[in-house]
Chains A and B, each alone.
Chain A
Amino acid sequence: MKTDLEKMEFVIPSDFKYLGAVDAAVQDLAREMSCAQRWINDFSSALIEACTNAIEHGNKYSKDKRVRVEVSLDGKQIIARVRDEGTGFDFAPYLSEDSPLDAMSERGRGIKIMKAFTDALDYTLDTNGGLCLKLMKICAIEVDETADGKT
């Protein structure tokens, strides 16, 4: 695995149709660093949820507001920060909640996905009021299944 620090930043409108671009960017970056595909998929799913949260609950789908995403990867861990331009809210109760969901509830699974697919999930409130979610996951390297184990 490469150990150089790779960073990228991008800004997307508050529209779910741009979530595919977030996924593609993370997939490309992590693949470049030889991360395992399953690991990439899990982290990207968590990041998509963070962006979904920012678009839906933070920016409330406002066309005038953007979601800012920063991703850094250094071969040991990947960290992403997702900032919305909303008015902010107390995220702590949602973060600590581990109670089982009503199986038929159509909502409330985003944080469960983020927690399941990351090693650490935290948040801060920006000075301008928006919420910043921070996601961290320890890297898993690609295993060459065709290798015979000899070096």
Chain B
Amino acid sequence: MKISQKELYGAVVLELHGKLTGGPEAETFRNIFKSLLDDGKKNIIIDLKKVDWINSTGLGILISGYTSVRKAGGDLVLCHVGDRIDSILYVTKLNLLFQSFDSREEAAEYFKQQPA
């Protein structure tokens, strides 16, 4: 799993590449989220366009990130969720937890509309 980081209209976009499977990746994500929150960056967009699939431990990573960000008063949303990952979010009911957008721009617009 490779992770690239960009900023878009005040939100941070984490673009993931490959497969989100948990294990040692969980520590990497924890460190990224800690660093972002330490810098006061608490509006996070996870771009899944280049993620082929995800397993239950990968879902755990997303939930851990979501929990950290929400505790800090921010939010974590998803964009570019493919059919395969969408099915997994649906059967685990995580589609009710994560807001999902078709593009980064739509996700960033969501954050712009949130009260400061």
Contacts and interface: CB of A to CB of B under 8 A. Distances in A.
Interface residues of B, number: 27
A109 B84 contact: no
Given A16-B23, A117-B91, A107 B83 contact: no
Interface in A8-62: 15-17, 19-20, 23, 38, 41-42, 44-45, 48-49, 52, 56, 61
B103 interface: no
Nearest to A112: B92
A56 B87 contact: no
A104 B91 contact: no
Size bracket of the A interface: 20 to 34
Interface of A: 15-17, 19-20, 23, 38, 41-42, 44-45, 48-49, 52, 56, 61, 100-101, 103-110, 112-113, 116-117
Interface of B: 19, 21-23, 25, 52-53, 55-57, 59-61, 63-64, 66-67, 83-84, 87-88, 91-94, 96-97
